[in-house]
Amino acid sequence: MTFIPVLAAESGIVDALVESTRRTGETFGFNAWLFFSQIISFCIVAFLLQKFAYKPILTILEERRKRIADGLANADKIKQQLAESEQRYQEILTKANAEAQKMIDEARASAAVVKDRETQRAISEAEQILTKAREAAALEHTKMLGDLKREVGRLVIGTTAKVTGKVLTADDQKRLSEEAAREVAA
Amino acid sequence: MSNSVHYIHALTGFGRAIRLLALTFVLVLAGLGAVALAADEAHAGEAGHGAHAEHKHHGLSPDAPRIQVGPFSVTNSMIVTWIVAIGVIGFAQYATRSIKDVPDGAQNFWEWLVESLHNFLESIIGPDLVKKTFWFFATLFIFILFTNWAGLIPGVGTIGWGIPNAQGGLDHISRPLFRGVNADLNMTLAMAVIFFVCWVVWALQANGPGGFVMHIFGPKGKTEGFMKVMMIAVFIVVGFLEIVSIMFRPVSLSFRLYGNVFAGESMLESMAALVPSLGWLIPVPFYFMELLVGIVQALVFMLLTAVFTLLICQHEEGRH
C-alpha cells in the first residue's frame, strides 16, 4: 500500500526530468525533425566519404605498403643470394687455388723426377761416350803404336843396311825390328 | 623466452593503458574547462543579449533559423552542412579521380590527411579497431574541422534577413542565410547519438552481450574470498555509475562542441559590434583563435569518441 505514493512521487520526478529536458532542448534550439535530418545528412556524408575518399586512398596506401614490404623482402632475398653467391665463389676460388697448388706441386714433383731421370741418363750416356772415346783412343793408340813400331823397325833396318853396307837377312831384319819395337814401347 | 615476451607485452599494455587514462583525463579536463568557458560565454552572451536588446542588438540565436526552400523547410546550418559535405566529397573525388603511384597536388594532400589520421588513430586505438572504425572517426574529424572553419568564412552569419532600423539599414541579421554548422545543437547531438549507436554496436561485436555486461559490472583484478564478494558488490555499484556516465556521453560531447562553436561565433559577433567603426579590425585576432578552436574541437571530439571506443573494446583484446 505504501509503494503507491512512492511510484507517484517517482512518476513526478520522471515528469519533472522530462519537462526539464524538453525545456533545455527548446532553450538550445533542439528540434526532433531537424535532429533526424542532421543524422541522415551525417550518415550520407560518412557513407560517401568512405566510398569515394577513404577507400581508394587506403587501398592505394595498402598496396604501396605491400609493394614496399615486397621490395624490402626482395632486397633482403637478393642480399642473401648475393652473400651466398659470394660464399660459393670464395669456396670455388679456394678449391681452385688448392687444386692449382696441388697441380703445381705435382708438376714440381714430376719435374724433379724427370730431371733426376734425365740427369742420370745424361750422366750414363756421358759415361758411355767417355768409355767409348777411351776405348777408341786406346785402339787408335795401339794402332798408332803398331804403325810406329813398324815404321821405326823399317827405318832401323834401312838405316842399318845403309850404314853397314850389307844386305840384312830376314832374321837380322826381324831381330832389329823387334829391338826397335821394344825401344819404342819403353 | 616466452615468459619474457609476455612480460614485455604486459608492460607495453600497462604503459599504453596509463597513457590512455592520462590522455582521457586531460581531454575530459579540457572538455570540462571548455564547456565551463562556453557556458560562461554563452551566459555572458545571453546577458549581453538582454543588454543589447535595449540597444536593438540581439546576438546569435541558439535556435537555427529556418529557411523555406520550396515545400521544404531547412535550417541555415543544414545549408552549410550540405555545402561543406559537397565541398569535401567533391575535393576527395577530384583528388582520387586518377590515382597515381607517385602522388602530387590534391592527391598528395588528401593522402597526407587520410594517412596521418589513420596512423594517428592506429597509434591510439590499435590496428584492429582502426580498420573497423576509421571511416567514422575520420569523417568526424574532417567534417567537424571543415564545418568549423567554414563558419569563419566572411558572409556566414552576416548575410541574411533582419528588421531594418529607422534609417532603413540592418543593425542585426536575425535570420542569416548561413550559420556555423556546429553552432546548431541538432548537428552536434546528431553526431554524438550516431557515435553512441556505433559505440554500442562495436562494443557488442567486441565483447558479445555477456561480455559487454561483464565489462561494465564485472569486478576487475584478482581477488579471493571475502574481498572477492566485496569487489563484486563495489563493481556493481560502479557499473551503475558507469552506465550514467555512458548515457551522459552524447550530452557532454554534443554540448562541448556546440558550446565552443556557439560561444566563438557569439564572441566574433560581439567583437565586431564592440566598436562599430573598427568592426573590421577587432575580430581579426579572434578569428585566428577560432581557427585554432576549430581544429582543437575537431580533435577533442574525435579523440574522446576514439578513446571511449577503445576503453569498451580493449577488454576483449586484452583477454585474447
For B204-255, the pLDDT digits (tens) are 999 999 999 998 898 888 888 888 889 899 999 999 999 999 999 999 999 9
Asked if this assembly's ipTM is beyond 0.90, the reply is: no
Q: Collect all residues of chain A within an 8 Å Cβ-Cβ radius of residue B61.
A: 29
What mean pLDDT value characterizes chain B?
A: 80
Give the domain extent around B96.
Answer: 2-319
Gap from A109 CA to chain B (nearest CA, Å): 60
Average pLDDT over residues B37-59: 43
C-beta atoms of A44 and B85 within 8 A: yes
> CB B106: neighbour CB atoms within 10 A?
15
**Residue of B114, B187, B258 with shortest CB distance to A54:** B114
Tell me, letter by letter, the H, E, C secondary structure of B234-278.
HHHHHHHHHHHHHHHHHHHHHHHHHHHHHHHHHHHHHHHHHCHHH
**Residue of A35, A45, A48 with shortest CB distance to B186:** A35
pLDDT for the residue numbered A6: 57
**B178: Cβ contacts below 8 Å, ≥ 6 apart:** B76, B79, B80, B83, B155, B156, B157, B159, B160
Q: How confident is the model at residue B51 (pLDDT cuts 50, 70, 90)?
A: very low
CA A16/CA B219 separation, integer angstroms: 35
Q: How confident is the model at residue B308 (pLDDT cuts 50, 70, 90)?
A: very high
pLDDT digits (tens, 9 = 90+) for B80-90: 988 998 999 89
Indicate the number of domains in chain B. 1
pLDDT for the residue numbered B1: 38
CA A69/CA B27 separation, integer angstroms: 36
C-beta atoms of A45 and B187 within 8 A: no
Q: How confident is the model at residue B57 (pLDDT cuts 50, 70, 90)?
A: very low
- Residue B12, pLDDT above cutoff 60: no
- Searching chain A, which residue's CA lies closest to the CA of residue B193? A39
pLDDT for the residue numbered B44: 42
Selected residue with higher pLDDT from B110 and B224: B110
- Searching chain B, which residue's CA lies closest to the CA of residue A53? B92
C-beta atoms of B89 and A41 within 8 A: no
Average pLDDT over residues B187-201: 96
- What does chain A look like in DSSP terms, one character per residue? -THHHHHHHHHHHHHHHHHHHHHHHHHTT--HHHHHHHHHHHHHHHHHIIIIIIHHHHHHHHHHHHHHHHHHHHHHHHHHHHHHHHHHHHHHHHHHHHHHHHHHHHHHHHHHHHHHHHHHHHHHHHHHHHHHHHHHHHHHHHHHHHHHHHHHHHHHHHHHHHHH-SPPPHHHHHHHHHHHHHHHH-
What 3-state DSSP class applies to B67? strand
**Residue of B62, B85, B99 with shortest CB distance to A60:** B99
- Residue A172, pLDDT above cutoff 90: no
B156 touches chain A (CB under 8 A): no
Q: Answer yes or no: are the C-beta atoms of B99 and A60 closer than 8 Å.
A: yes
C-beta atoms of B118 and A56 within 8 A: no
CA B315/CA B309 separation, integer angstroms: 11
pLDDT for the residue numbered A106: 94
pLDDT for the residue numbered A1: 46
Q: Collect all residues of chain A within an 8 Å Cβ-Cβ radius of residue B261.
A: none
C-beta atoms of B143 and A45 within 8 A: yes
Q: Collect all residues of chain A within an 8 Å Cβ-Cβ radius of residue B137.
A: none
Residues belonging to chain A with any Cβ–Cβ distance to chain B shorter than 8 Å: 25, 27-31, 34-39, 41-46, 48-50, 52-54, 56-58, 60-61, 64
| pLDDT over 90 percentage in chain A | 44
C-beta atoms of B115 and A57 within 8 A: yes
Gap from A24 CA to chain B (nearest CA, Å): 11
Average pLDDT over residues B132-138: 95
- Residue B35, pLDDT above cutoff 50: no
Gap from B225 CA to chain A (nearest CA, Å): 37
Q: Collect all residues of chain B within an 8 Å Cβ-Cβ radius of residue A38.
A: 78, 81, 184, 186-187, 189-191
- Residue B258, pLDDT above cutoff 90: yes
C-beta atoms of A42 and B143 within 8 A: yes
Of A70-84, A89-103, B94-108, B124-138, which gets the smallest average pLDDT? B94-108
pLDDT for the residue numbered B315: 60
Gap from A2 CA to chain B (nearest CA, Å): 26
pLDDT digits (tens, 9 = 90+) for A4-32: 555 556 678 888 888 888 888 888 888 88
pLDDT for the residue numbered A164: 83
C-beta atoms of A57 and B75 within 8 A: no
**Residue of A35, A36, A54 with shortest CB distance to B138:** A54
**Residue of B88, B93, B186 with shortest CB distance to A34:** B186
pLDDT digits (tens, 9 = 90+) for A67-114: 999 999 999 999 999 999 999 999 999 999 999 999 999 999 999 999
**Residue of A39, A42, A53 with shortest CB distance to B96:** A53
| pLDDT over 90 percentage in chain B | 43
B118 touches chain A (CB under 8 A): yes
**Residue of A28, A46, A53 with shortest CB distance to B92:** A53
B92 touches chain A (CB under 8 A): yes
Q: Collect all residues of chain B within an 8 Å Cβ-Cβ radius of residue A37.
A: 74, 78, 186
**Residue of B74, B99, B191 with shortest CB distance to A56:** B99
B254 touches chain A (CB under 8 A): no
**Residue of B82, B118, B138 with shortest CB distance to A41:** B82
Q: Answer yes or no: are the C-beta atoms of B88 and B142 closer than 8 Å.
A: yes
